[in-house]
Amino acid sequence: MPGLKGNQANIDVAKPKGVINAADFAALRAMKQRNGKGKMKNASAVFHTHMPYASALTRLEDQKIQPIGQTELGTQMRTGYDESYDGPGMDPSEGERLVKACGDNTVMLMANHGALTLGDTVAEAYDRLYYLERVAQVQLYAMWTGQPLRKLPEPVIEKTFKTYGDNKMLYGGRKNAEWHFDALKRILD
């Protein structure tokens, strides 16, 4: 069992030793322990970041993703919100609180803090993180104009949610997230 020491946690992940921030460890460990149990089945990969646009959204009184476009709806339909920030969460109970706030979702915006994404694979968690940051960027750009946001009508939102929710499409026998992650790795190579 990994242990906490100061503000770091020593963690054994498939034998190698590493160091992780204790606050991140408390939250991410709870997400990983729920993997495959109860309703949280998508926690094989957990990303927690402070990317600028998603983090900026969390600093707003209303941090919710607005229904202003197709990409926003695809992200919005699986996003949970943690509406309270109580300081660094070193205690394991903070992780359990975040698990409850996330619920069945695979994306979570954490008030005054940052974002978290979950996936069955690293590719899925990354894909969700990528689109969350793009959605946050577009929403903030639209808000910066000072013009009212053009929200989609409820029937379009419902139709889009159903289409995305029922989507089991594969491209070339693979999920879109896998293609996306492979493209990123090619850029890095």
Q: How far is CA 114 from CA 2, 170, 180, 182, in A?
A: 25, 31, 23, 26
Per-residue pLDDT tens digits for 86-126: 887 777 778 888 888 998 899 999 999 999 999 888 999 99
- 3-class secondary-structure state, position 11: strand
Q: What pTM value is reported for the model?
A: 0.80
pLDDT at 153: 96
In whole angstroms, what is the distance from residue 70 CA to residue 127 CA?
Answer: 16
Q: How far is CA 18 from CA 2, 126, 167, in A?
A: 10, 21, 38
- 3-class secondary-structure state, position 146: coil
* Amino acid code (one letter) for 135: V
pLDDT at 4: 35
Provide the edge-to-edge strand list for the sheet that holds 79-82.
45-49, 114-119, 107-110, 79-82
24 by Cβ neighbours in 10 Å (0-12 / 13-18 / 19+) ranks as middle
pLDDT at 18: 60
- Strand 79-82 and strand 45-49: the pairing is unpaired
pLDDT in tens, the chain (189 residues): 333 334 444 444 444 456 666 666 666 667 666 555 544 566 788 888 999 999 999 999 999 999 999 999 989 889 999 999 888 777 777 888 888 899 889 999 999 999 999 988 899 999 999 999 999 999 999 999 999 999 999 999 999 888 877 666 677 778 888 888 888 888 887
pLDDT at 107: 95
pLDDT at 149: 97
b/e code 102-138 from CB counts within 10 Å (16+ = b): beebbbbbbbebbbbbbbbeebbbbbbbbbbbebbbb
Matching residue, tokens 């409850």 = 100
